[in-house]
Amino acid sequence: MTDAPDILPAAVAAALATTDPAPGARATTLAAGIPFSSIAWGDRAGRPLVLIHGVTASARIWWRVGPALAATGRWVVAIDLPGHGLTGHWQGHHRFRDNASDVAAWFRAADLDVPEVQVVGHSWGAMTAAALPAAGIRPATIVLLDPPAVPYAVISAMASDPSEQPYPDIATAVEALSAAEPAWPPGDVLAKAEALVQLDIEAARAVLLDNGDWDGGLADLEDPAATGIPVWIVRGDPAIGGLLPDAAVPAFASRIGAEHVLTLSGAPHAPQRTFPEATTAALLRALG
């Protein structure tokens, strides 16, 4: 287990420094009966990289990190999961493997089921990413961004967290989030506000309340289907709200190698919001 690096290529640093990053191109792809919405940045001819968000968020959580990763020449695609963002169409598939099966169908429909594709998943998205091999998708690299390895009592509490509830409109959400999260940049406040307005609350509650204990995706990584796939973990700091505790790290290190577990000191569960530079540097190290 090592601390994440903080050196960025010049083009990536410049992309992160801009106050008005590229909004990306929206697309809708029908798969598994779901019209998946996604945002893409970069050159379509570049190496594909898929970003998967967590519960109550959306593809917009990558508003700054997505363009920065695209500055490396990658084709970066962030998906809105069912019940979230502009995808909607919740099918009741709260189990991680069931969600991964739907996402796997989207990979195929979007022509992203290719040997060179890489995947980064955050939180619920990390659980989904870990289950992709069992669903038939074998990315060249899987990166789990703060995958929760916590008991049911911890994860289920998020279902009643006032900051994770839907709002009637974006202005109300922005006002509430700005007061609750003064350290968040305006772009992150707006992205979260939009996500909470768009959220299907029953979808979020099902994910949080009906999956029992969360193991950070370890069981799915130990499935034979995941054998041979390089896996990395970039985790937040447990003292600041990271959901992969120190006690869980040895089991992951045994499976993926201790050198593949990177810790962002002082960073919370969603480090892409308040630690975008360190998060991007760590992701680039994992993606190679």
Q: Rounded to whole angstroms, how far apart are CA atoms 195 and 118?
A: 25
DSSP string for residues in 165-196: S--SSHHHHHHHHHHH-TTS-HHHHHHHHHHH
Single out the residue of 272, 87, 85, 37 nearest to residue 194, CA to CA.
85
Q: In this model, does residue 90 exceed pLDDT 80?
A: yes
- pLDDT of 62 > 70? The answer is yes
Three-state SS at 42: strand
Residues 133, 70, 108, 79: is their CA dihedral positive or negative?
positive
Tell me how long the chain is.
Answer: 288
Q: By the 8 A CB rule, do 77 and 42 touch?
A: no
User: Residue type for 221, please?
Assistant: L
**Helix residue ranges, H only, the chain:** 10-17, 65-70, 96-109, 124-131, 152-156, 170-180, 186-198, 201-209, 218-221, 249-256, 271-274, 276-287
**Is it the case that residue 4 has pLDDT exceeding 90?**
no
- When the pLDDT of each residue in the chain is averaged and rounded to a whole number, the result is 96
Instruction: Please compute the mean of the pLDDT values over residues 54-74 and round it to a whole number.
Output: 98
pLDDT digits (tens, 9 = 90+) for 159-214: 988 888 899 999 999 999 999 999 999 999 999 999 999 999 999 999 999 999 99
pLDDT at 87: 98
pLDDT at residue 165, rounded to an integer: 87
Confidence of residue 1 (pLDDT cuts 50, 70, 90): low
pLDDT, tens digit (0-9, with 9 covering 90-100), for 115-161: 999 999 999 999 999 999 999 999 999 999 999 999 999 999 999 88
Nearest CA to 120 out of 45, 172, 70 is that of 70
pTM of the model: 0.97
Tell me the average pLDDT across 224-253: 98
Mean pLDDT value across residues 66-85? 98
Rounded Cα distance, 248 and 137, in Å: 26
Q: Is 52 helix (H, G, I), strand (E, B) or coil?
A: strand
pLDDT value at residue 5: 56
